[in-house]
Every structure is written in C-alpha cells, then in structure tokens.
Amino acid sequence: MEISQYDEVYALWQITTKRALSRADSRENLEKYLKRNEGMSQVAIMDGRIVGTVLAGHDGRRGFIHHMAVLPEYRRHGIARAMARRAVEKLKEDGISKTHIFVFRDNELGQSFWPSIGWKKCGDLTVYAFDTEGNEDEI
C-alpha cells in the first residue's frame, strides 16, 4: 500500500469496514503509519482497481493488523487469506512472531474468517482504551 492510493483505499473502507473508521484513519496518519511499517500493509488489485486492503505493523514486540477488507463482489476467492499470510510473513521478517487483530464481537464475517485461517481467539482478553481528546465513542 502506498499513500498515493489513500482516496481509493478510504473509499473501499467506507463500503466494507465503515464502523471501524475513525479520525485515526486520516491521510496524515496513514502516511505516518506506512512510513513506520514500511512494506507491510497491502492492497489487492484486480481488474485494474483496489479490491482488498490490510494494514499491518508492529510496535517492536507484537504485530497488529487492521482494516482487513475485501469488496463484496471479490469475496470467497482467498484474497483476505493471501493478504493475511503475507502480512504475517512480512512481520516475521522483522522478528515479530505473534500478531493481534481486534474484531467486533458481532462481526460475523470477521468472526468466521480469522479462526478459519488458523488464528486463535484470545477469549480471556478485554480491550480497554483511553482517549486524550475524550472521543470515547470512536474505535
């Protein structure tokens, strides 16, 4: 993924993963994210357009994936599986052996997808957040 693709990527997210979008997904932030995690985030391109995305990065000890998304008409062809595999490979190259993903509890697609490709649910974890701007309603 390159920052020059931001508009197309953001349009895809609005179709596929709108609930997970926040001020954190501004162009400026994505540019910083891609620089900090060079070569790890991906777009899938088919028929000359972006049909899938994944953000992948790490903090030095654990990997994190966000915005795994495929346009509805391109689903069930293994695109997300391939992007997840590649993200894990890229993270491993950087010495990261374990990666986490946050999935809304009621996101049936996400809840089906991750275990089906071998990711294990961390049933005993709860996510807490603190926002210095008080935007508690945002993810």
Asked if 14 and 21 count as a contact pair (C-beta separation under 8 A), the reply is yes
Q: Structure tokens of 93? A: 């190259």
Site string for ligand COA, 34-73 (x = CB under 6 A): ----------------------------------xxx---
Shortest gap between Cβ of 35 and ligand COA (angstroms)? 24
Q: CA 110, 100, 7, 82 torsion: positive or negative?
A: negative
The position carrying tokens 């400026």 is 28
85: Cβ–Cβ under 8 A, 6 or more apart, which residues?
117
Shortest gap between Cβ of 70 and ligand COA (angstroms)? 4
Options 33-41, 75-83, 89-97, 129-137: segment touching ligand COA (CB under 6 A):
75-83
**Which residues 76-135 are close enough to bind ligand COA by CB under 6 A?**
76-81, 101, 103, 107, 109-110, 112-113, 116-117
